Chains A and B, each alone.
Chain A
Amino acid sequence: MPANVTVLVSIGRNPVSGRVRRAAADASALALALRIAGKEAVEVVHAGDAAAPGLRDYLGMGLPRLTVLPVSGNANPAPALLGYLRHRRPALILTGERAEAGEASGFLPYWLAGELAATLLPEVVDLRMEAEGWGAILAAPGGRRRRVCVAGSLVATMGRGATVAPLAAYGQARRGEIICEQTDTFAAAAESRVIKPARPRPKRLVATVAAQAGRGPQVGVAPEEAARMIADFLAGRGLLV
């Protein structure tokens, strides 16, 4: 049965502890796909190691099976995914906007959209199939929402505005099936860059109030005075309406 919605998932990693887990944005993408298409019309694809820990977390979201395209260690998963998707031609590809480990450049969905001549929509929070194509709600700056319509095939990425996906159920995670699909093998491209552990690089603070006022912590202020300081701070940044 051909699935018409494909979700691309990666292996996530807790940014502080480094613990391997499902990737949060990919899980949101899967939750949305399940909501709009139902589990029988959704195919979930991971290019990488079929035994990777964290992969079964996705099955635990209520999925009967998951497809793995075996790709070795450091190799770029993109060509294998493209080969597979070219074949399948899903009407909709959903994925997280950026991986939680590895190159994590957020380029993969754009590259795939380009190669498949599909339209890419970023920051998708909701999606619906409509008569003329896809109706999507996107997160817009300042906590706003934008409605757009797209005709033709779509690659949609989900980021921070996405719904929090329900936690994986252990039983389903164990029962679900992982199917390996052989694709052409692609050798890892030679790395021409020098890779090093990241150096701590302080972010530029945008003229903070502390710096402006040159004051440290406020000790021994009455609650009313504390309230006034906070209200002035917020008002000075246009945050009190």
Chain B
Amino acid sequence: MSEHQDGIRRRNPRRERDGRRTSSVVEPAPSVQAAQSEAAAGAAPRIDPRLRRRERQAAEPASTGVSVRAGDVTRIDQSSHYVLMVPDLERGRLSPADRITLGAARMLADADGGAVVLALMLASDEMLADDAGRAGVDRVVELRDAAFAAYDPQARAAAAVAIAEMISARHIVLSETRSQGGDLARRIAAALGGGLAVGVVRMTNASVTSVIDAGRREAIGPAPRVVAIDTAIFPAASAIQAREARPLAPPPVTLRSAIRDEGLVPMDPRTLPLAEAELVLSAGDGVTDWDAFHALAAALPAAEAGSRVVCDAGHLPRSRQVGASGTIVSAQCYIAAGISGSPQHLHGIADCRTVIAVNTDLHAAMVARAELAIIADAQAVMPALTKLVEERRHAR
């Protein structure tokens, strides 16, 4: 589909919302616009029946087109090129990573008068519960297929490639997230060719900086076709201008995949590899009461881990060692009891979202790293925490 084919239609989200109430708006494709108030409230359910209703109305054919003023919405009518952004989506919403990546897509588009196109690959009962226009999206392509309800990265990649080809996307931009955008970016790059930059931490005038060599070096060069953004580092856009999020008709695709999803399987949290645990209780040389340590890990429950000193001493098996020569953990919370925080150890927890330190030394490096640091004897805090956790659990 080309720009001039849909170029006669002018959209203004506000007018359209009004228009939908009287079912008089021409829509080339179901709209993904959600009410701004819902987006702002931050609590819209995954499938809002009101949105569904609006969507049905929007899809109704009507005979008159609307031509409206752009108002506070920035509109690109004749775009020189397209930049396709494929979001991860979290429960039907744009994730924080998606928004940072949209900012990167915007930079690539603005370098040369291009438009940002959001690719939505949704299962039959899904919809976007965010206002794409407000997130800075010029166009939206929505592809619906039952395959998207299951884990099927091959089908998703094929769909993204079909959209990219339909609009001749100059760049395809994704968040480099594990299991999602990071995987998809590599699949798309393998299918399309034209290069791939991963670990992108910076961008200026369509030149990208990627971290390579496991973080030791960085490479700066022109943006290749597929760009995967390290959203933990890439700067967030300072101001986002509202865009029109005009729907484009999706390409016809027949999705075939060799992957059959058989669903999630139950997993004993105690046998979970340390690298995947969400909550880790880790011991260092400052832990002497091992019964209290194991009791606390069982009560929380948390995966057990330790520093090298502790594993060397045989208190915990080697597979539980955290650090440069052990396991890299990426827990939501890492509780470090009696661990000083050597560089080798801190390397292993660089990806942890938060750290709690219990240490007798106020000047320990782990205390500086921690979001919550308790300067106290671990042997006293561990049993107190076990008792409290069990009490709270019984109270419920």
Contacts and interface: CB of A to CB of B under 8 A. Distances in A.
B356 A233 contact: yes
A119 B259 contact: yes
Contact of B325 (A14, A206, A228): A14
A123 B372 contact: no
B262 A148 contact: yes
Contact of B374 (A102, A119, A139, A218): A218
A198 B389 contact: no
B213 interface: yes
Contacts of B220: 193-196
A107 B385 contact: no
Contacts of B151: 138, 140, 146, 148
Nearest to A17: B324
B279 A148 contact: no
Nearest to B335: A230
A204 interface: yes
Contacts of A233: 333, 354, 356, 371-372
A201 to B, nearest CB: 5
A31 to B, nearest CB: 13
Interface stretch (B7-15, B18-26, B185-193): B185-193
Nearest to A125: B273
Interface stretch (A39-47, A50-58, A82-90, A110-118): A110-118
A121 B154 CA distance: 9
Interface stretch (A64-72, A169-177, A178-186, A209-217): A209-217
B375 to A, nearest CB: 5
A230 B332 contact: no
Interface in B341-396: 343-344, 347, 350, 353-354, 356-358, 362, 367, 370-377, 380-381, 383-385, 387-389, 392
A192 B222 contact: yes
B43 interface: no
A237 B179 contact: no
Interface residues of B, number: 90
A131 to B, nearest CB: 13
A37 interface: no
Nearest to B333: A239
Given A145-B267, A160-B328, A218-B373, A104 B213 contact: yes
Given A150-B259, A164-B319, A114 B374 contact: no
B265 A145 contact: yes
A149 B260 contact: yes
B362 A217 contact: yes
A195 B190 contact: no
A203 B351 CA distance: 9
Contacts of B214: 13, 15, 98-101, 104
Contacts of A142: 278
Contacts of A193: 219-221
Contact of A16 (B263, B264, B344, B358): B344
Contact of B219 (A111, A146, A195): A195
B190 A111 contact: yes
B259 A16 contact: no
Interface string A91-103: 0000000111111
Contact of A149 (B153, B198, B262): B262
B114 to A, nearest CB: 22
Given A105-B198, A192-B222, A195-B218, A227 B387 contact: yes
Given A105-B212, A217-B374, A201 B233 contact: yes
Given A195-B218, A218-B374, 20 more contacts: A13-B214, A105-B198, A106-B182, A114-B191, A119-B259, A138-B151, A141-B179, A143-B277, A148-B151, A148-B260, A160-B276, A197-B218, A208-B371, A210-B370, A211-B371, A217-B357, A217-B375, A218-B375, A219-B375, A233-B356
20 contacts: A15-B214, A101-B213, A103-B213, A104-B214, A146-B261, A147-B261, A152-B258, A160-B273, A192-B222, A195-B212, A195-B218, A202-B233, A204-B233, A209-B372, A217-B373, A217-B375, A218-B375, A226-B384, A230-B381, A234-B300
